[in-house]
Amino acid sequence: MAPIPRKYKKLLVISIPALALFVLFIAYIYEYTSTTHYCGTTCHIMEEAYETQLHSVHREELVGCGDCHLYHGSNIAYSLVYKGYSGMKDVYKNAFDQPVVLHTSEWSQNVIQKNCLRCHQAVVANIRIADGPQCFDCHRNTPHGQGTQSFGTQTISTPLHSIGGS
């Protein structure tokens, strides 16, 4: 076997630590942006959801935002793609698409539904849910109450803007 040329050794010495740092950075950002505190205090559109969640049965010390709104399967690539898509969609909506109203995509609804079933499997064990409504169709105000912000597919009014009319 031929020895590795000097220029490739330099490249390896630089690229392997750089790749390791990049992976650590992505892991840190993923974890940091998955916390309830981050969502509720960094993003002004989430303030009402954060406050109402803190006063619900799903309050932070029991259930965080990520417990319901993030994918919890074993597929890391799927998790990264979903979180990246969902987060960037919210950032775009928050920054450029006024008035600020969040709507859950079908993809997000599927993730939320699976998380409801994951945590409440004992409660729904005897309920036929396969072709019925989603959990949040009936429990839409859990845990965020009936605030002025939309976290569903309905058009609503916010304190600053009237959406869908004048």
Query: Would you say 134 and 111 are in contact if contact means Cβ atoms under 8 Å apart?
Result: no
Would you place residue 164 in the very low, low, confident or very high pLDDT band (cuts 50, 70, 90)?
very low
Q: Give 150's Cβ-side CA count (13 Å radius).
A: 20
pLDDT at residue 91, as a whole number: 79
Q: What is the mean pLDDT of residues 1-11?
A: 86
- Report the predicted TM-score, pTM, of the whole model to 2 decimal places: 0.71
Domain range list for the chain: 43-161
Mean pLDDT score of the chain, rounded to an integer? 79
Q: In whole angstroms, how large is the CA radius of gyration of the chain?
A: 21
Q: Smallest Cα–Cα separation from 48: which of 148, 142, 136?
A: 148
pLDDT at residue 45, as a whole number: 74
Take residue 144 and report the two structure tokens written for it: 């965020």
Rounded percentage of the chain residues whose pLDDT exceeds 90: 25
Take residue 40 and report the two structure tokens written for it: 């509720």
How far is residue 60's CA from residue 152's CA, in Å, rounded to a whole number? Answer: 21
pLDDT at residue 99, as a whole number: 59
* Least confident piece of the model among 62-66, 85-89, 96-100, 146-150: 146-150
pLDDT tens across 100-156, in order?
Answer: 666 788 999 999 999 999 999 888 888 777 777 888 888 877 777 665 544 444 433
Which class is domain 43-161? Answer: mainly alpha
Take residue 90 and report the two structure tokens written for it: 């919210």
Take residue 139 and report the two structure tokens written for it: 């429990």
pLDDT at residue 154, as a whole number: 41
Q: Is 98 helix (H, G, I), strand (E, B) or coil?
A: coil
Would you place residue 98 in the very low, low, confident or very high pLDDT band (cuts 50, 70, 90)?
low
How far is residue 73's CA from residue 75's CA, in Å, rounded to a whole number? Answer: 6
